[in-house]
Chain A
Amino acid sequence: MRAYLVKRLLLMIPTLLGISAISFLIIQMAPGDPATVKLGGGEGIRDQALAEQIIAETRAIYGLDQPLHIQYVRWLKRIVLLDFGESLRDHRPIIDKLKERIPVSVLLSGVSLLLAYLISIPLGIYSSTHQYSIGDRVTTVGLFTLYSLPNFWVATMAIVYLGGGDFWNVFPVLGLHSLGAENWPFWTRMSDLIWHLILPVTCLTYVTLAALSRYMRASMLEVIRQDFIRTARAKGVSERAVVWRHALRNSLIPIVTLMADLLPALIGGSIVIETIFSIPGMGQLSFEAVLNRDYPLIMAVFTLSALLTLVGILLSDFLYTLVDPRIAYEKSVS
């Protein structure tokens, strides 16, 4: 097992190198010099010579005057030490920004992920055990509809209809706290937080929920048709035990492995939802990084989410073997 782990970790290195090279190149191809951007396009300064001097010095400080491959190697060295550098915008270390933003996204996405699993598993079981019943048809159509609903639209509609526009004013639509909430007692603060979370969490949850339930139903249907389920029924095991003990365990395998895809989103947050609801998480940070051409920050986001995806894939392979011991480690190396 240790040999397997080492092998997998070593295989991650070329992939990571490739990703870092690609993201580095994309940033370099981008028009607009970060040093100029930093100066606000140089419009604020009348003296052209002074502006040029400032730009040149900025380039020297950030090493932007070095050749490309030297810049890349220098950047790579620092990344290995988890030093993402400073944000071009406000000179704060990027690692500090990440530390601030990641908990917010983990809270938001974590709650929605948990809800999605809690709802989709029973829903999938119900649909598959009552195949072609009215209930199954209604859930299938409902989930299909949810699956195709653009979530930025749902979020905007929620703000229009529930966020105090021309219609109802039920939910707050900005951030995670009311103004002055820091001084409130703990429970009031908690309920305020939950109140702020309802709309964004709903918008995030329904997408995952729709996808997960469809997987769950399909996988459960496949298991229920198998011989060992028939055997269990034939020897008189109650329907309840057949479904919940025998079938469920086996049908969970694909659902569990889907976690690999969800891990990057858990920490990376959602660009669209966090931007619409002005939630200061990783998604909003990434969006601002692009808007401000904050290159070190953009590169950090790229590296972090690629790393998370790789860890997610590794994790899902391990989970696979955990829920299904028939799968050997050696087989899953590709």
Chain B
Amino acid sequence: MKNQSAEGSGKSYRAIVSSQFRKNGIAVFGLIVVLGLSFVALAADLIANDKPLLMKYNGRLYSPVLKEYAVWLHLSQWPPEFQNISFKELVTANFGKSDWVWFPPIRYSQNDISLRDAIQAPSARHFLGTDEIGRDIASRMVHGSRVSLSVGFVAVSIYVLIGMTIGALAGYYGGFVDIIASRLIEIMLTIPTFFLIITVVAFLPQSIFNIMVVIGITNWPTVARLTRGEFLKTKSLEYVTAAEALGASDFRTIFRHVLPNTLAPVMVAATFGIASAILVESTLSFLGFGVPPSTASWGSILSSARQILPSGWWLTAFPGLAIFLTVTSYNLVGEGLRDAADPRLKG
């Protein structure tokens, strides 16, 4: 496929796909949202934190947020006067005339518990309200983006890796390997995936890592089936025979020559897969099987909303919107990629 298109237009397949994708306005919009969310996830500590970004205190300049990273990496230690203190109290109590402070836009960290402020509707202090133990929802939303985005990315990477390997081996070697792999794929496709995930996650200690791995090892069959099909189509093409005739090892033929040409459908499936992995994680957290309570995730905010149902609309509305926006964006990117990679499928 790659070679044919390259002959036709003088452009590489990748360039054609990317130019096709860029023409699709709504898919580009989806990509921008995804990139924006990734930025929020990376910069979460700078957007929502109870420590100042920058402050001048007793004639010296400090950056408590960056300092925290350094302490976390064991590169540095908190000066004694800043140990175990609340910077907000420090600002109100000890600040002199020449001191100033610059806080992040959201002045709460994800686990600032304050029972006095529990279950408050959105206000100027708490932009998106607070939950049942007074944690700021805006801050938890910002930090929760990390869970959703990383679960989607890591879980899908795991199953793409497993699926492509099994599919490639089955498609390339055929025969006995193929029979075993195909049975395995069929068994995995027949097992009720969501129930399996819930069962395994319920048995394991609560952690994001476990969720990623479980989603990863239960969802590989679709990718394996795709890759196997592509290999069956590709392996009899001339360039594969040529590679074999030139003495390339099986490993080299599979991973260096055939696999890159089967990537397009897998990438499309992976993008849709990220959307559904995000949905699975938030559903698990919603049901109480997800991330541990100290980690903020959009699903776990919805889960605390469930505790005080049917009141507390802000606990339901905002995290749900965030999940919806993310899932929609990934689906839009997936559709855009699919149409760009294979215009025949365009509906």
Contacts and interface: CB of A to CB of B under 8 A. Distances in A.
Interface stretch (B90-98, B100-108, B237-245, B315-323): B315-323
B316 A264 contact: no
Nearest to A159: B310
B192 A150 contact: no
A286 B305 CA distance: 23
Given A160-B316, A305-B195, A272 B287 contact: yes
Interface in B142-195: 183-184, 186-187, 189-192, 194-195
B190 A309 contact: yes
A302 interface: yes
A291 B202 contact: yes
A326 B211 CA distance: 45
A152 B202 contact: no
Given A26-B200, A152-B283, A301 B310 contact: no
B226 to A, nearest CB: 15
A160 B318 CA distance: 13
Interface in B189-240: 189-192, 194-196, 198-200, 202-203
Contacts of A152: 282-283, 286, 302
Interface in A130-170: 144-145, 147-150, 152-153, 156-157, 159-161, 163-167
A79 to B, nearest CB: 15
A15 B186 contact: yes
A148 B311 contact: no
Given A15-B190, A148-B331, A157-B320, A173 B310 contact: yes
A26 B324 contact: no
B313 A161 contact: yes
A22 B320 CA distance: 34
B25 interface: no
A50 to B, nearest CB: 28
A221 B347 CA distance: 7
B196 A165 contact: no
A306 B190 CA distance: 5
A293 B203 CA distance: 8
A146 B192 CA distance: 23
Main secondary structure of the interface of A (DSSP, over half): helix
B283 A150 contact: yes
Interface stretch (A29-37, A86-94, A250-258): A29-37
Contacts of A271: 194-195, 198, 287
Interface string B330-347: 010000000000000001
Main secondary structure of the interface of B (DSSP, over half): helix
A31 B317 CA distance: 36
Contacts of B331: 144, 147-148
B312 interface: yes
Interface string B73-117: 000000000000000000000000000000000000000000000
The size class of the interface chain A forms with chain B is 35 or more
B283 A148 contact: no
B277 interface: no
Which of B195, B283, B311 has its CB near the most chain A CB atoms (within 10 A)? B195
A218 interface: yes
Contacts of A264: 192
A18 B310 contact: no
A19 interface: yes
Given A30-B203, A165-B309, A291-B202, A150 B194 contact: no
Nearest to B345: A218
B38 interface: no
Interface string A10-33: 000011001100110011011110
Interface in A287-307: 287, 290-291, 293, 298, 301-302, 305-306
B327 interface: yes
B324 A153 contact: yes
Nearest to B326: A148
Contacts of A15: 183, 186-187, 190
A101 interface: no
Which of B275, B306, B316, B327 has its CB near the most chain A CB atoms (within 10 A)? B316
A102 interface: no
Nearest to B192: A305
A258 B312 CA distance: 39
A268 interface: yes
B187 A149 contact: no
Nearest to B195: A286
B59 to A, nearest CB: 51
B279 interface: yes
A148 B275 contact: yes
Contacts of A149: 324
A275 interface: yes
A310 interface: yes
Contact of A150 (B184, B200, B323): B323
B279 A150 contact: yes
A287 to B, nearest CB: 7
A217 interface: yes
B312 A18 contact: no
Which of A153, A217, A291, A309 has its CB near the most chain B CB atoms (within 10 A)? A153
A156 B347 contact: no
A191 B200 CA distance: 40
Contact of A148 (B194, B286, B306, B328): B328
Given A15-B187, A302-B195, 13 more contacts: A18-B184, A29-B203, A31-B203, A147-B331, A156-B316, A161-B313, A164-B310, A166-B311, A217-B347, A298-B199, A302-B191, A305-B195, A306-B192
13 contacts: A26-B196, A26-B200, A153-B320, A156-B305, A160-B309, A160-B310, A160-B312, A166-B311, A173-B310, A218-B347, A302-B191, A306-B191, A309-B192
3 A-B pairs closest in CB distance: A165-B310, A153-B320, A30-B203
